[in-house]
Structure 1
Amino acid sequence: MGNFIIVKIFFRLGISDGMNLSLISLALCDLFYLVPAFVISVSMVLHGVEELSDFKVWFPVEPETVYMISTNVGSGFYAISMLVTTFITVVRCLAVVDPLKYRNLISLKSSAVVIASFSIVSILFAILLLVYMGVSPQFDSNTNATRLVLWISPKRALTKDVIFGIRDMFLPLASQTIVGACVVIMASCLQKAAHFRQHLSSDPKGKIINKECTPAKLVGKELQVARQMLLIATVYSLCNMPKVVFNLTQLIVPDFYRGGRYSALYLTFNIIRELIQSVNASVTFFIYWKYNSKFRSHFGLHH
């Protein structure tokens, strides 16, 4: 609901520059991700019902089938969200370091090209995995009945390994590193900006020279935007960490997969990871509410 409101309000504010377009795109990706994330949660609950009842209670569609398909769809939207967040964070970090030089770093056109590229690649990866999967009526020995069950082509294994290496290993780790570095830099510059203002208020003729960032230029709206982005990036960095750990564990521990020796632990960790990622996709509304006065005023006028 929060992401829907964000998209609605930002459209009313108008897509006037590349940053607004990026923020709308981020909200849309988060909104689209939350749909399969919700389906994943429901499917795991239904799977638990089947297991606990020893399959005396079962459903016409295997819950694990719904889980697997939803996971692949959700991973595509999360990848776009991850890339857009990294892109916005880097741009905002540069603007914090030197506002005058990097204030208008991205145009509407360049932002559209970057986001479209992220979307095309991420959706292509998801499609390459989904084309080797399908659902068909099959006899299920657990239920002693025929129901819709997932089938996976043997050809999918190589494609999955390549995409897993790029999308689920390299990109999250690279994003985590880049965003983490930007968070440290932005936090340092904002702290120096606060010290500068305190020093200036007590000694108007004082002068501070800072080669790393220019705190004197971070005032008013730009300061609020910087704080807003710092908080978004920090929340993202914390919520993305479980995904990085989860994927590294899959790489290091051979039996850490669905159906493997540590299958129960894998599924539990995966549910926790999805829940944390859902939190990341849901909290931006409250951040905009706190730091964006135009957002608050439009929310008050139209809701």
Structure 2
Amino acid sequence: MDAIYSNATLDSELLVAANTGSFRFRDPISAEKFLFLMECLTYAIFTVGFVGITGNILILCTYWKVGFTDSINISYMAMAVSDLGCVASIVWSGLCWNPGFNSVVAIEARDVVLPTGGFATTAFGKITAMITAFISLERCLCVVFPLKVKTLITRQRTIYFIALMYVVHVLPTSLVYVVVRFEWHFSEQRNRTVLGVKYLRNPTEQTITDVLWVFHSLPLQFIPLIIVVVCTIFLIITLNRSARWRSGNSKGITEDRHRRNEPEISSGKPRASSKEDRIIKTVILIAIVFIVCSSPAAINNAVTRAEPEYRASGKYRKLNLFVAGSTACLNTINSSVNIFIYYKMSSKFKLALKKLVCLVD
């Protein structure tokens, strides 16, 4: 939560440093380079964000048409909602860092970015992480307990779990609006009245800040990541073992029929197993993208907690903010690519999406 109390002074420090050439902190990234890099990140976020917002809206509409016969479709749709919220909040945060936007709006965009975009990104990102962990764990249970999984994970329990994740992550994050106040004030630098943010520091607000610190602490970030990593490794091993068994079994049956001069007879079982394999492959792809895109953010937060000078009030603050912006771009990618995975792996989703966009009758 160091960023809560230091983010408001960042603009003035950067402007002073850029104009005078003197830096309060010995950051390896200069003020001018920092502003340039952040501007480049915003354009990357806008590009990926447009794809993400469009894609997640299409996912929601498509799964609404496909239906929820399979409980995993409920999870896919719930994840699309959190991904949409995550991408939208990241795009807004990127917009706040864009110099062109700052020059035309009557708000201190880089002051309001944290309460209006940063915390929403964190909340929706954690919901996506928990749903990804839930989906991965569900597939593992399907492998370990194939006959009991339908009673262990029902549609009703899936809905309850997802609703709980939204409540648990959204409510604590909304407490930030008790800590901050949006106020109009005159900006001498811009020579106009602008909307800014004031952070309250009385004991009650400090307690709320401490609660938010604990809630966004490392254990809650690493737990879903560890679950996804373990489940993904297990699913990959299971999928490879199943493929080798089917290959060997099919080869043995074919050779036996050739010896007996019997015609080959197709069976319906491979189709059923093929459907399960496609679901497992879909979950593995989602998990791998999540691991690749989320690990840098987790590592960056761990370094932030371990090294005081790397925090928002330390001498490497600009480096910290640039890395955080880069990880936000990765999170945007993570929340934007699922539509391509579903389209590639699910024939039912592919057909429904084509009908939705009028590519087929």
- Is TM-score (shorter-chain normalized) higher than 0.5? yes
Specify whether residues 177 and 256 from structure 1 end up closer, same or farther in structure 2 by C-alpha distance, changes over 3 A only. same
SS in 1 for 2:314: coil
2:220 to 171, 174, 186: 171
Shift of 1:221: 0.9
CA positional deviation for 1:8 = 0.6
Whether the 8 Å contact between 1:29 and 1:77 is mirrored in structure 2 is yes
Task: Return the match for 2:146 from 75, 99, 103.
Answer: 99
Change in Cα spacing, 1:266 to 1:142, as seen in structure 2 (3 Å) is: farther
Cα 1:205–1:102 change in 2 (3 A) is farther
Corresponding position of 1:193: 242
In structure 2, the residue matched to 1:35 is 88
Is 291-300 or 94-103 further displaced after alignment? Answer: 94-103
Contact 1:96–1:218, Cα closer than 8 Å, also in 2: no
Q: What is the SS of the residue equivalent to 2:98? A: helix
Deviation for aligned residue 1:133 = 1.2
1:126 partnered with 2:180: no
> How big is the shift at 1:298?
0.8
| Alignment CA distance shift 1:176-1:217 (3 Å) | farther
Find the partner of 1:280 among 334, 348, 354: 334
Counterpart AA for 2:158: S
Instruction: Please give the secondary structure, in 2, of the residue aligned with 1:99.
Output: coil
Deviation at 1:205, TM superposition (A): 9.3
| Counterpart amino acid of residue 146 in structure 2 | P
**Unaligned stretches of 5+ in structure 2?**
1-53, 256-269
1:61-104 CA-partner distances (Å, limit 9, x unpaired): 11212321211122111121111111111111221344334255
Q: 1:113 to 1:9 in 2, by over 3 A?
A: same
SS in 2 for 1:238: helix
* Aligned-residue offset at 1:162: 3.1
Q: Which residue of 1 aligns with 2:277?
A: 223
Whole-angstrom CA distance in 1 between matches of 2:148 and 2:85:
35
| Equivalence map 1:74-153=2 (5 Å) | 74-103=121-150, 105-143=152-190, 145-153=192-200
Q: CA deviation at 1:151?
A: 1.0
1:254 partnered with 2:312: no
Identity %: 25
- Amino acid of the structure 1 residue aligned with 2:91: F
Would the aligned equivalents of 2:179 and 2:208 in 1 still touch at CA under 8 Å?
Answer: no
Query: Structure 1 CA distance, aligned partners of 2:319 and 2:187?
Result: 24
Q: Which protein has the larger Cα radius of gyration, Structure 1 or Structure 2?
A: 2
What amino acid is the match of 2:123? Answer: G
SS in 1 for 2:69: coil
Q: Which amino acid aligns with 1:261?
A: K
The CA RMSD measured in Å over matched residues stands at 2.3
- Structure 1 contact 31–281 (Cα < 8 Å) conserved: yes
Stretch deviating more after TM superposition (58-67 or 19-28) = 58-67
The amino acid across from 1:152 in the alignment is Y
Please say which of residues 90-99 and 181-190 is displaced more in the overlay.
Answer: 90-99
Post-superposition offset of 1:58: 6.9
> In the alignment, which residue of structure 2 is the partner of 1:183?
232
Residue 46 of structure 1 corresponds to which residue in structure 2?
99
Amino acid paired to 1:247: N
Deviation, 1:6, is 0.8
- Note closer, same or farther for the CA distance 1:252–1:158 as it changes in structure 2 (3 Å cut): farther
In the alignment, is the contact (CA less than 8 A) between 2:179 and 2:209 conserved in 1? no
Query: Equivalents in 2 of 1:285, 1:199: separation in Å?
Result: 34
SS of 1:147 mapped into structure 2: strand
Count of residues in Structure 1 that have an aligned counterpart in Structure 2: 287
1:217–1:158 Cα change, 3 Å? farther
Check the 8 A contact 1:93/1:186 in 2, yes or no.
Answer: yes
How much does 1:17 deviate? 4.0
In the aligned structure 1, how far is the partner of 2:149 from the partner of 2:254? 27
String of CA shifts for 1:200-228, please: whole Å, max 9, x gaps.
Answer: 1221399xxxxxxxxx9981211110111
User: What stretches of structure 1 of length at least 5 have no aligned partner?
Assistant: 51-56, 207-215
